[in-house]
Amino acid sequence: MSDAGGLPATVAFRLGTLGAIYGDRLAAKIAVHDLKLKHAGLMTALEAGVAASQQDLAARMGVAPSLVVALADHLVRLGAIERRRDPADRRRQVLTLTGHGRELLRRCAEAAREVDEEISAPLGADQRAALHDALGAIAERAGLPTS
């Protein structure tokens, strides 16, 4: 990328600014389900169906264990996840996604697709595909889920 144009011309600035705008729009859409983006992130981490400890999830998500505990407390109250003692180590809490949690996650994905349509409205089909591929490559490199 050229140095011309200053800060607004950089990918980092554009992604940060657009991310804030469209992240807020997605957050507003999922708020009707009493969820925040971090709740959806935790449920996404559990979606594979493998029970995970709160410690494991904190490491996987790159957040403080206390945040996972707070997010999990809320999701337990919603019936989206279950928290159980690990039979192999009673000190560990294991989290699993419930059927209701899977439904909430489906609704979050639906809301995200609606925001995707807003984002990509000015783009042609080839540009949409290129954007999707480019963001997928960047997300993969950052260790984020891509599907």
Judge whether residue 49 has pLDDT over 80.
no
Q: Please, what is the end-to-end C-alpha distance for the chain in angstroms?
A: 28
Mean pLDDT score of the chain, rounded to an integer?
92
Number of domains in the chain: 1
Q: Mean pLDDT throughout 62-75? A: 94
Per-residue model confidence (pLDDT) at position 3? 59
The model scores a pTM over 0.85: yes
Q: Which domain holds residue 47?
A: 36-142
Judge whether residue 82 has pLDDT over 60.
yes
Asked if the structure places residue 9 within a domain, the reply is no
Alpha-carbon span 68 to 60, nearest angstrom: 11
Per-residue model confidence (pLDDT) at position 61? 84
Q: Residue 135 belongs to a domain with what CATH number? A: 1.10.10.10
Beta bridge partners of 95: 52, 83
Asked if the structure places residue 55 within a domain, the reply is yes
Quote the tokens at residue 129. Answer: 């595909």
Judge whether residue 60 has pLDDT over 60.
yes
